Each structure stands twice: as C-alpha cells, then as structure tokens.
Amino acid sequence: MRSIRKSGGVVLSLKALLLGLAAGIVVEAKAQDIERERRLEAEIVDMIFDGEPLHLRGADGHRFLAIHSEATLEPVRGAVIVMHGRGFHPDWEEVASPLRTHLPTLGWETLSLQMPVLAKDAKYYDYVPILPTAFPRIRAGIEFLRERGIDYIVLAAHSCSVHMAMAFTRRYGDDLFDAFIGIGMGATDYRQPMREAFPLESMRVPILDLFGAEEYPGVLRAAPGRLAAIRTAANPFSAQRVIPAADHFFQDQEDALVDAVSQWLATLPPS
C-alpha cells in the first residue's frame, strides 16, 4: 500500500480547544460514518498518481485524508482548498479531481479534503446536524497551507460541501480565507428546503457562484436571490457564472468547469 505523509494540521492551545468545545465546534465523531470514510480512503489511495496523499488532524482529534498538489507554474498565485460533493471523496472524478489536478498547472496549489460522509442514502436533512464536523477539517486545511507560506487561500466547495463551507463562514466569518467558489450552491433534496440562508451578503471576500444550465431546479430557482446577495456584498471581483449543458455533477463538462474556475481566478487581485 502506498505510504501517506502525516501532518499535524492545526495545533491548538488547550484554551482554544476548550473554547471550541464550549461553542459546539466539536461534534461527536459517531455522528459521521467513519467506517465508510475509511473504506473510501482505502479504495482510492493507491490510485492517486497526481498529488501527494497525506493525513491532517483537526481540532476534534479526527485524522482524515487530504490530497496536496504543488503548483507547477511560477509564480505561485495561492492555493485552492477543494471540497467534494455529498458522500464522495477528495479524488472524485467529476468535480474534485479535475480541479485539484488542473489548477496547479495554472499556478495554484490545491488541497483536496475528505469531507464528512454519512450512509449512501443520507439526505440533506441528515447532513444538517453534522455540518459542524467539517469545521475542524477546513481549519486544518487552511493551517496546513499557511504553514507552507501560502498567503492567498480560496475555498472551492461543491454541492453539500457548500453547506459546510457556508456554515463555517456563518460561524467564523470570512477572515480565514481570501475568496470563495460555490459550485452547485444550495442543492438539497425533495421537500427539504434549506434550513438557513447562505451568508453571502455579509461576505467581504470575492465570490464565484458557479452552476450548470441543467442544474437541479432548486439551485436554478435560488440563483437570482444568490446574485442579489452577492451584489449587496459589493465585492467588485464577485461573479455568477452559468455553464451551458452542465448538470449538477458536471458530467462530460469537466473542461468547462475547470475553464470557468481558472478564468475567474485569473481576475482576482494579487495577494
């Protein structure tokens, strides 16, 4: 089996950890399907040829898989933390893998995180209670990149991970990252409307709202509201983009996805 480099992730003081516990940051690990997460890791880790698999450890003590890829083009613009869709893994072929493997050729490091998973049949409302279990993972990813000297960090979340990233932002604000890409924002399940609105209008960082023309109806219906919130936030680099012919999973539209993301990243100001 391929060896995996270990990283300490976020190193917190006892005081910070206690504050996190008091704020409800740490959720019992049993709420997640840890066994399924381990199975997903075992299935993919030996097949990762682009990038370096490693383990990070969050403030909750959970050790999880991430895939790091260094930029192959100088100068390095920054790093993109890639967060996959519901129930998948950090090398998922339809969104996560294209982004994490192509962006390094354009001067962006990538760090693709294993996000919390539940059983295959779990729905949006099943995931709502475990959204906070993503917080230590996001913080560990940010800290890993900061320790590497990366000054500009972009969060790029797809589908369910958008809910996790937005819950993270609602809790901590957007001071810990420098830009946000939401792909397929607001996807839920039948008769399961969103529990809380995304905090887009209060975000100060640049936002890219990216989705396909053949998205889920709920994502499409909410697009005007998201755009209005983004305009209220008034960051001049924010944008909403639609990819023709793309569905929620960007099947056969991976190149268009990467192009849309890379073109927007190119508009961002230097760090």
pLDDT, tens digit (0-9, with 9 covering 90-100), for 75-123 = 999 999 999 999 999 999 999 999 999 999 999 999 999 999 999 999 9
Q: How far is CA 236 from the centre of its chain?
A: 22
Task: Tell me the pLDDT band of 199, cut-offs 50, 70 and 90.
Answer: very high
Q: How many domains does the chain have?
A: 1
Residue 7, pLDDT score:
52
Residue 271, pLDDT score:
72
What CATH number is given to the structural domain containing 207? 3.40.50.1820
Q: CB neighbours of 34 closer than 8 A, spacing ≥ 6?
A: 62
Tens-digit pLDDT profile for residues 120-159: 999 999 999 999 999 999 999 999 999 999 999 999 999 9
Distance CA 225, CA 83 (A): 23
What amino acid occupies position 167? A
Task: Output the average pLDDT for the chain.
Answer: 91
pLDDT above 80: residue 28? no
Higher pLDDT, 223 or 2: 223
pTM of the model as a whole: 0.89
**Residue 179 structural domain:** 5-267
Rounded mean pLDDT of 42-52?
Answer: 96
Closest residue by Cα to residue 228 from 208, 188, 200, 261: 200
pLDDT above 50: residue 12? no
